[in-house]
């Protein structure tokens, strides 16, 4: 039995492929390399194709015994989704519907979905648990919400079993130094800080200093990408053994403000970060913190790498490596 990983050449997908292979799973990576990178592939069979083109992956299901699908392949920029919602609705929804259609044709009924904390919208309680009301308000978050609703209907109607993993802020890099974040454009805090320190960015912009938090900057829950990847292996194993659909948060229940991350990064690198203060970005909420109780209880998940120092250290090692490779 093989596991199809759609989007396995991307940031989180590539770390998950590495963990799946370590745990003895046979992996097929399906990716269009729109944001994914060949250098992030550490094993498994690779099929290049696009989820918007069903024929490009229908044959993969016909020619392999696929037992489950992990679906990472989506557009991920919240800001862009406001400016071009059509692109997000077309891409993220149609690619997911296509994938589910071909899975059902092939009678593959185990699905692990990359969802997001964005499905919750503005939190009513902190930490956010899975039963928190879902009020997504940006097009990106809405695409994740709609896919979750589709999954529930497909479970009821066709017996498709799924685990939807709602990630908080993925950060850090493979502790062995082989994988890391390479988004272009980069919209995430830590890589932007590190790329600025490495001279790859002219400025570092701090968005929003008037949030109702202790220092005025937004507080987020940073989860190390390897811990996130390990949660996928546990979720897949759970799905294959229990055939029970679930929604599960992946976060740490601990938050850091942007200023705290800046100070920690300055402390670790010994370099001063001069930043420009900018207005809040549209849709940014003051605080996002996950309850991790369900992931711990249901999956037996533990955090190994998600302390902030390890996140910064692994990301720094990765970014230094890719920047030095360029010169
Ligand atoms: N990075 C985060 O902090 C975060 C937080 C919450 C949720 N997520 C979700 O996790 C998933 C992975 O995020 P990431 O940061 O690794 O993104 P990424 O852009 O690095 O990876 C996405 C991968 O999917 C591929 N892809 C995109 N569209 C495709 C298509 N139509 N057909 C085939 N391949 C396609 C890309 O080439 C890339 O390899 C996404 O679904 C994202 O919404 C990420």
The verdict on whether 256 is a catalytic residue reads: no
Ligand 1 atom at shortest distance from the alpha carbon of 14: 16
User: Which is nearest to 142 in space by CA: 68, 188, 91, 218?
Assistant: 91
Residues 56/49, Cβ–Cβ less than 8 Å? yes
Is residue 116 lining ligand 1, measured as CB closer than 6 Å? yes
CA 77–ligand 1 middle distance (angstroms): 10
Sites in the chain below the pLDDT cut of 50: none
pLDDT at 283 (0 to 100)? 85
Residues 102/54, Cβ–Cβ less than 8 Å? yes
pLDDT at 183 (0 to 100)? 85
Candidate list 11, 88, 120, 140, residue with the active-site label: 140
pLDDT at 168 (0 to 100)? 97
pLDDT at 74 (0 to 100)? 97
In the sheet with 2-6, reading across from the earlier edge strand, the strands are 45-48, 26-31, 2-6, 66-71, 110-116, 161-167, 246-250
pLDDT at 115 (0 to 100)? 98
| CATH 3.40.50.720 intervals, the chain | 2-170+222-250
Count CB-CB contacts under 10 A for residue 297. Answer: 10
Is residue 114 lining ligand 1, measured as CB closer than 6 Å? yes
Does the domain at 2-170+222-250 match CATH 3.40.50.720? Answer given as: yes
> Which residue carries 């079993």 as its tokens?
161
CATH class of residue range 189-220+253-326: alpha beta
Ligand 1 atom at shortest distance from the alpha carbon of 117: 6
CA 229–ligand 1 middle distance (angstroms): 13
Is residue 14 lining ligand 1, measured as CB closer than 6 Å? no
| CATH 3.90.25.10 intervals, the chain | 189-220+253-326
């Amino acid at each position: 039995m093989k596991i199809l990983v759609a989007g396995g050449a991307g940031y989180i997908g590539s770390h998950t492929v590495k963990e799946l292979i370590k745990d003895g799973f046979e992996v097929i990576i399906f990716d269009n390399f729109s944001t994914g990178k060949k250098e992030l592939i550490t094993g498994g069979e690779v099929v290049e194709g696009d989820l918007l083109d069903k024929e490009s992956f229908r044959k993969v299901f016909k020619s392999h015994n696929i037992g489950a699908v992990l679906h990472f392949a989506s557009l991920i920029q919240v800001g862009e989704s406001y400016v071009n919602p059509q692109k997000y609705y077309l891409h993220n929804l149609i690619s997911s519907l296509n994938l589910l259609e071909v899975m059902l044709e092939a009678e593959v009924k185990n699905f692990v979905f990359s969802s997001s904390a964005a499905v919750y919208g503005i939190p009513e309680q902190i930490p956010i648990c899975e039963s928190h009301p879902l009020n997504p308000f940006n097009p990106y978050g809405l695409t994740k919400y709609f896919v979750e609703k589709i999954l529930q209907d497909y479970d009821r109607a066709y017996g498709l079993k799924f685990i939807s993993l709602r990630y908080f802020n993925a950060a850090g890099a493979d502790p062995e130094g082989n994988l890391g974040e390479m988004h272009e454009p980069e919209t995430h805090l830590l890589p932007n800080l590190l790329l600025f320190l490495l001279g790859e960015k002219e400025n570092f912009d701090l968005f929003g200093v008037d949030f109702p938090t202790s220092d005025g900057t937004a507080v987020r829950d940073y989860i190390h990408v390897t811990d996130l990847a390990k949660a996928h292996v546990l979720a897949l194993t759970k799905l294959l053994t229990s055939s029970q659909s679930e929604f599960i948060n992946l976060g740490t229940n601990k938050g850091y403000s942007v200023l705290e991350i800046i100070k920690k990064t300055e402390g670790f690198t010994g370099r001063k970060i001069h930043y420009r203060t900018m207005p809040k970005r549209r849709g940014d909420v003051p605080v996002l913190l996950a309850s991790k109780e369900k992931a711990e209880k249901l999956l037996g998940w533990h955090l190994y790498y998600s302390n902030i120092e390890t996140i910064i250290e692994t990301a720094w090692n990765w970014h230094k490596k890719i920047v030095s490779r360029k010169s």
